[in-house]
Amino acid sequence: MISNISRLLSLSTAMIVASTAIAAAEPSAELIAAAKKEGTLTTIALPHSWCGYGDVIAGFKAKYGLEVNELNPDAGSGDEIEAIKANKGNTGPQAPDVIDVGLSFGPSAKKDGLIQPYKVSTWDSIPDSAKDAEGYWYGDYYGVLSFVVNTDIVKNVPKSWDDLKKSEYANSVSLAGDPRVANQAYMAVYAAGLGAGETDADKAAQTGLNFFGEINKAGNLVPVIGKSASLAQGSTPIVIGWDYNGLAWRDSLKGNPPVEIVVPSTGVVAGVYVQAISAFAPHPNAAKLWMEYLYSDEGQLAWLKGYCHPIRFNDLAQKGLVPKELLDKLPPAENYAKAVFPTLDEQGKSKTAISKDWDSVVGANVK
């Protein structure tokens, strides 16, 4: 059965009100003092444009006065894990204290003894299905698959997966990756299966493949990886991808062309990233203080400003701590409340089925 955080993340839009007040929860004075004594935090794979990390890092430095040593901002999750392995006995500047990785890397890093447990003070407000019970890793933010639409070309914006079958979307629909190899793309196929009405997670991948086979046969699917440039040029006027990427594209294009990001009415699938502290962190207290900052109201809202939905979003919303100006930049909140979070097992099975059967069922060479 699909792990559905929406039961824990159900929203009432009436509860989301503008507020400038942020709860004053602070880490202990002892932790702050120990972190300041260490003086430095070493991060890895945090580009400033991703989820607003530039402002997050600046906020942490300003609040606590620590230096932040930023390693390889463009690294991937696998690179982060390798950096921990390569620096087990190294206390110098090349050893990361903390990592921000895709969901599947949390459990595997724990199994390999590469991360250490720590429960932040806001632990109870992180949904159980988005964290390790022992505190080795915990979800930090998520995005949902959405339709990123060039409204200069597409006048009637699709609202559901089923809408993508309409003849008016001929030569218009693209994926933000090759579904045979790219996580964002195969998750889109899985989401289409749920959007088509499939409730069994094991069958959603096949239903999604059939869906894309149908829109490909109808001439609606464009076998090109959708990006900001192709969206703007009109060669892929509808791109299926993570909402935070679409929202960032919208900002970068500055209305030329106008772009709308639509969270579909059904089949809303979310993808989670997770935080963890290296088991060999040279600055363990600075790492813990960093986690406290990221999971504080202030840190969570900084991610939201960067269009990544913080894992404590509903907790903040229910307390009236989400500023209206941030919400106004996002698609309607009610559709986010429908998000389902596939388990690691469900993701693995779907990936295998989609990568194996895409060519035979859909037959579009996306590149």
pLDDT tens for 10-21 read 333 333 333 334
The rounded Cα 77 to chain-centroid distance in angstroms is 13
Give the dihedral sign, CA 82/76/78/60.
positive
Give the dihedral sign, CA 184/255/304/159.
negative
Residues 38/286, Cβ–Cβ less than 8 Å? yes
Give the angle subtended at the CA of 194 by the CAs of 192 and 198, to the nearest 5°: 125
Q: What is the mean pLDDT of the chain?
A: 89
Give the mean model confidence (pLDDT) for residues 218-236: 96
pLDDT over threshold 90, residue 351: no
Q: Is 266 left (phi over 0), alpha (psi -120 to 50) or beta?
A: beta
CATH number for the domain whose boundaries are 143-268+340-361? 3.40.190.10
pLDDT tens for 41-100 read 999 999 887 888 999 999 999 999 999 999 999 888 888 999 999 999 899 999 999 999
- The pair of structure tokens assigned to 283 is 């600055």
Q: Check residue 364 and give its pLDDT.
A: 93
Q: Check residue 75 and give its pLDDT.
A: 83
Closest Cα to residue 133, out of 142, 123, 143? 123
Domain boundaries, the chain: 18-141+270-334, 143-268+340-361
Distances from the Cα of 54 to the Cαs of 72, 295, 302, in angstroms? 14, 16, 10
pLDDT tens for 51-65 read 889 999 999 999 999
Sequential DSSP letters for 96-157: -SEEEEETTHHHHHHHTT-EE----TTGGGS-GGGB-TTSS-EEEEEEEEEEEEETTT-SS-
pTM of the model: 0.75
pLDDT tens for 268-318 read 999 888 999 999 999 999 999 999 999 999 999 999 998 998 999 889 988
pLDDT tens for 150-204 read 999 999 999 999 999 999 999 999 999 888 877 788 889 999 999 998 878 779 9
Closest Cα to residue 274, out of 176, 71, 129, 113? 129
The CA distance from 120 to 138, in Å, is 10
Distances from the Cα of 64 to the Cαs of 31, 67, 275, in angstroms? 11, 9, 20
The rounded Cα 342 to chain-centroid distance in angstroms is 13
Q: Check residue 74 and give its pLDDT.
A: 81
Q: Check residue 341 and give its pLDDT.
A: 83
CB half-sphere exposure, 277, CA atoms < 13 A: 23
My answer on whether omega of the bond before 127 falls inside 30° of 0, hence cis, is no
Looking at domain 18-141+270-334, what is its CATH homologous superfamily?
A: Periplasmic binding protein-like II (3.40.190.10)
Closest Cα to residue 186, out of 198, 174, 178? 178
- The pair of structure tokens assigned to 232 is 């703007």
Closest Cα to residue 233, out of 222, 217, 218, 244? 222
Query: Would 18-141+270-334 and 143-268+340-361 be classified into the same CATH topology?
Result: yes
pLDDT tens for 107-135 read 999 999 999 999 999 999 998 878 999 99
